[in-house]
């Protein structure tokens, strides 16, 4: 054994010590905990306040079982786009073409399934392949030619909108077969039984809470092991319980509506996978490195061109997933589908804590940002607010989110 290697017994002892310390170490100072990462904590506080506000203004209709289900179904494709968009923004880029790609992939699927009579799954596979090809096209120009992503995707927005019109021949196509419609409008109900509610939905909710608790405890142990600050164990338990209450309330409402939406399962899998990819893989760390400090990333041996290429391939893939969900939800393909979707996805990422200059952001934060936009839109619709006023409110919220990011960055520079 060399001098640099440690005996396994020492590693086990250190791990056990960290686990024991996880029960007793940490701070109970709420101000310290909030200001330590004011960007992220502010998002969650804002989300709770917005939900509570619209719940009051709509006399509780916002949180009714049927309306919660509608929010999931109506905004799922924006949340899928936000996952890819936040990764693009973390790397210091932007993608303005995702709305057009949503339209193009939905159009390809519609032509194959509706016009030419292929099986429903053939349309889905073809849409995903088209999305990956579009992402590779963007990635080539950005990563290997060196054209800024803003210009490449702006051109892509026009190019793929035009291709959509050609594929559809300027007409709408509908309807899709029932199997295809189930992607965005289907439910899993009755798998575990239940009297007046769906037990399977409650089981999935409980499983998600348990996974969150275990993941949070493991993260806490790791932070303590590397002598990083954490909250006190009672506050950690309080946080887990608070999340558990929210998740189980959400699951309870879904269980008393139509059960667990299939699109929510798709979204949940994507969130888990991409949260792991961005936080616990080499690729994810390289994305943050490129957006945070490009010269340092180059000097560290990061293959910047390759990473940038795959970032856009991934964005094309997720745009195709959103295109399938949207076309399934609308039960057809339209030439104008996906209009302004890119702005909603970008807004979700920035409201969710992504930095304008790159290097900062999380998948979970983008989901919360998207949900803030969804709750505001849904709440204002329930209140009968005019569409023009809704646009003004969304614009102001986005502006405030970016202004908050700039203020937070300046505060960090000025603090000792």
140 pLDDT above the threshold of 90:
yes
Structure confidence by residue, pLDDT tens digits, 240-274: 898 888 889 888 888 887 788 899 999 999 999 99
Supply the range of the domain harboring residue 199.
Answer: 190-260
Structure confidence by residue, pLDDT tens digits, 192-201: 766 667 888 8
285 pLDDT above the threshold of 90:
yes
Same domain, 149 and 207: no
Q: Which residue has the higher pLDDT, 379 or 41?
A: 379
7, part of any domain: no
- For residue 345, the model assigns a pLDDT of 94
End of a domain among 236, 260, 284? 260
Same domain, 95 and 147: yes
Same domain, 301 and 246: no
35 pLDDT above the threshold of 70:
no
- For residue 168, the model assigns a pLDDT of 93
- For residue 83, the model assigns a pLDDT of 96
Average of pLDDT values for 273-297?
93
- For residue 341, the model assigns a pLDDT of 93
Question: CATH number for the domain including 310?
Answer: 1.10.3470
357, part of any domain: yes
Same domain, 301 and 334: yes
Same domain, 315 and 365: yes
Same domain, 380 and 302: yes
Cα–Cα distance for residue pair 143/105, rounded to 1 Å: 23
- For residue 134, the model assigns a pLDDT of 97
- For residue 46, the model assigns a pLDDT of 81
Cα–Cα distance for residue pair 318/415, rounded to 1 Å: 39
Cα–Cα distance for residue pair 42/276, rounded to 1 Å: 23
Same domain, 384 and 272: yes
314 pLDDT above the threshold of 50:
yes
105 pLDDT above the threshold of 70:
yes
Structure confidence by residue, pLDDT tens digits, 360-405: 889 988 998 999 899 999 999 999 889 888 889 888 888 887 777 6
Whose tokens are 């505001």? That residue is 376
Average of pLDDT values for 344-367?
89
- For residue 66, the model assigns a pLDDT of 83
- For residue 12, the model assigns a pLDDT of 60
- For residue 199, the model assigns a pLDDT of 84
C-alpha dihedral sign at 398, 402, 403, 405:
positive
Structure confidence by residue, pLDDT tens digits, 212-242: 888 888 888 888 887 777 777 788 888 889 8
13, part of any domain: no
Same domain, 357 and 375: yes
- Which alpha helices (DSSP H) does 293-331 contain, by range? 294-299, 304-330
Number of domains the chain is built from: 2
Considering the chain, what is the average pLDDT of its residues?
86
Q: In terms of Cα–Cα distance, which of 310, 395, 369, 318 is closest to 40?
A: 369
1 pLDDT above the threshold of 50:
no
Contact 174, 331 (CB under 8 A): yes
Q: Place 145 in a pLDDT band, splitting at 50, 70 and 90.
A: very high
309, part of any domain: yes
Same domain, 202 and 152: no
Q: Which residue has the higher pLDDT, 283 or 31?
A: 283
Average of pLDDT values for 98-118?
95
Contacts of 7 (CB under 8 A, 6+ apart): 1
Same domain, 151 and 224: no
Q: Place 3 in a pLDDT band, splitting at 50, 70 and 90.
A: very low
Cα–Cα distance for residue pair 372/71, rounded to 1 Å: 11
End of a domain among 242, 260, 278? 260
pTM of the model as a whole = 0.86
35, part of any domain: no
Q: State CA 61 to chain mean position distance.
A: 25
Same domain, 155 and 244: no
Same domain, 250 and 274: no
Q: State CA 292 to chain mean position distance.
A: 20
53, part of any domain: no
Contact 307, 65 (CB under 8 A): no
Cα–Cα distance for residue pair 322/105, rounded to 1 Å: 9
End of a domain among 225, 242, 260? 260
Q: Place 179 in a pLDDT band, splitting at 50, 70 and 90.
A: very high
């Amino acid at each position: 054994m060399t001098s640099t290697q440690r005996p396994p017994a020492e590693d086990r002892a250190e791990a056990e010590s960290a686990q024991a310390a996880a029960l007793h170490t940490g701070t109970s100072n709420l101000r310290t905990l909030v200001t330590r990462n004011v960007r992220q904590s502010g998002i969650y506080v804002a989300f709770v306040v917005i939900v509570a506000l619209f719940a009051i203004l709509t006399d509780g209709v916002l949180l009714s079982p049927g309306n919660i289900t509608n929010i999931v179904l109506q905004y799922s494709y924006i949340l899928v786009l936000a996952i890819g968009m936040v990764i693009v923004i973390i790397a210091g880029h932007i993608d303005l073409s995702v709305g057009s790609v949503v339209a193009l992939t939905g159009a390809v699927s519609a032509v194959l399934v509706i016009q030419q009579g292929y099986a429903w799954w053939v349309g889905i596979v073809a849409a995903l392949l088209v999305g990956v090809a579009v992402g590779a096209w963007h990635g080539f120009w950005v990563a290997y030619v060196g054209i800024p992503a803003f210009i490449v995707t702006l051109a892509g927005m026009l190019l793929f909108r035009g291709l959509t019109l050609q594929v559809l021949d300027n007409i709408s196509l509908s309807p899709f077969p029932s199997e295809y419609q189930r992607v965005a409008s289907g439910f899993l109900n009755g798998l575990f039984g239940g009297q007046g509610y769906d037990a399977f939905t409650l089981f999935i909710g409980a499983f998600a809470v348990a996974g969150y608790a275990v993941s949070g405890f493991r993260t806490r142990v790791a932070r303590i092991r590397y002598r990083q600050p954490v909250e006190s164990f009672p506050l950690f338990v309080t946080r887990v319980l608070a999340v558990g209450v929210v998740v189980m309330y959400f699951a309870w409402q879904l269980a008393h509506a139509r059960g667990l939406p299939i699109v929510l399962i798709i979204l949940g899998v994507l969130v888990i996978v991409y949260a792991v990819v961005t936080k616990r893989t080499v690729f994810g760390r390289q994305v943050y490195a490129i957006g945070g400090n490009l010269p340092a990333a180059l000097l560290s041996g990061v293959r910047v061109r390759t990473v940038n290429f795959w970032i856009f391939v991934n964005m094309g893939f997720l745009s195709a997933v959103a295109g399938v969900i949207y076309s399934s939800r609308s039960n057809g393909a339209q030439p104008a589908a996906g209009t302004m979707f890119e702005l909603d996805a970008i807004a979700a990422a920035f409201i969710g804590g992504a930095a304008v200059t790159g290097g900062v952001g999380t998948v979970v934060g983008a989901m919360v940002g998207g949900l803030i936009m969804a709750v505001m839109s849904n709440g204002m619709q329930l209140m009968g607010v005019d569409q023009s006023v809704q646009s003004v409110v969304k614009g102001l919220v986005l502006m405030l989110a970016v202004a908050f990011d700039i203020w937070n960055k300046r505060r960090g520079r000025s603090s000792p």
